[in-house]
Amino acid sequence: MECSWERMDDRHQLDDCLELMYALMQYRHEPVNRRLRKMGKRESMLHPDALQLIYHLARICHGCILEIGAFRGGSTVAAAWGVRDAGTPKKLVAVEQGGSLRQHPLATRNIMRSLKRTLARERVADLVMLLEGRSSEPQIIAEVNQALGTDEIGLLILDADTGVKRDLDCYGKKLIDRCWLVIDDYGGPPENQKRLPTKTQVDELVNAGQLTPLGYYGLGTWIGQWRRLTPPPDR
């Protein structure tokens, strides 16, 4: 029987897609799903399905977790609960630039203060290393690298601005092969100005073989994996 590597990869991709869908269905019957919905309503812009999958991936991933764009902490708490329920220690680093958000149901005059409050209220502050600044600032890149040490990233959550390629340029060297990626604003309503630039960059990376798409959930959240096309950096 003929079986090319390409077909084997397609087969793995299909299995991974189905596993994610199946996991989501399973979680619908578990108490964590209700807790995520309740917390997410107060603290997250993401759809409950996206939060549930962040929880799931944080729970099953190998390596550390890096989140860019924590806002009030909804997605950060979902990842932290996943880490806690994994039962094995994993570093979770969240980068947030701070500032304020007005005229929005989740408006806050001080994003950083709201984020810290959420992490404290949900009792996960000790699981999250919080870095205040923009993801592409040299100081923040240095702090992330220092926080991770020689450890690599197994889950990257991008829900900030439209700098998908920029953030992958900053942190790509730290990602393991098949690192899970959650990228918000891939889809959604046309009035979402982040949608087009995000989708364009993600599609280009998929076409270049750098990303493998595994699903599209909630309000427009892309889920997939990173493929390491170059050898890992020297240690």
Nearer to ligand SAM by C-beta: 24 or 140? 140
End-to-end CA distance of the chain: 42
Q: What is the C-alpha to C-alpha distance for residues 183 and 173, in angstroms, rounded to an integer?
A: 18
Q: Which residues contact 69 (CB under 8 A, 6 or more apart)?
A: 95, 96, 135, 157, 158, 159, 160, 161, 184
Smallest distance from the beta carbon of 111 to ligand SAM, in angstroms?
A: 5
Q: Compose the 151-190 pattern: x for residues touching ligand SAM by CB under 6 A, - for all others.
A: --------xxx-x---------------------------
Nearer to ligand SAM by C-beta: 45 or 53? 45
Q: Could you say which residues in the range 63-122 bind ligand SAM, by CB under 6 A? A: 68-71, 74-75, 95-97, 99, 111
Q: What is the C-alpha to C-alpha distance for residues 74 and 94, in angstroms, rounded to an integer?
A: 12
| 225 touches ligand SAM by CB under 6 A | no
Q: Which residues contact 104 (CB under 8 A, 6 or more apart)?
A: none
Nearer to ligand SAM by C-beta: 45 or 58? 45
Q: What is the C-alpha to C-alpha distance for residues 160 and 184, in angstroms, rounded to an integer?
A: 8
**Contacts to ligand SAM by CB under 6 A:** 44-46, 68-71, 74-75, 95-97, 99, 111, 134-135, 159-161, 163
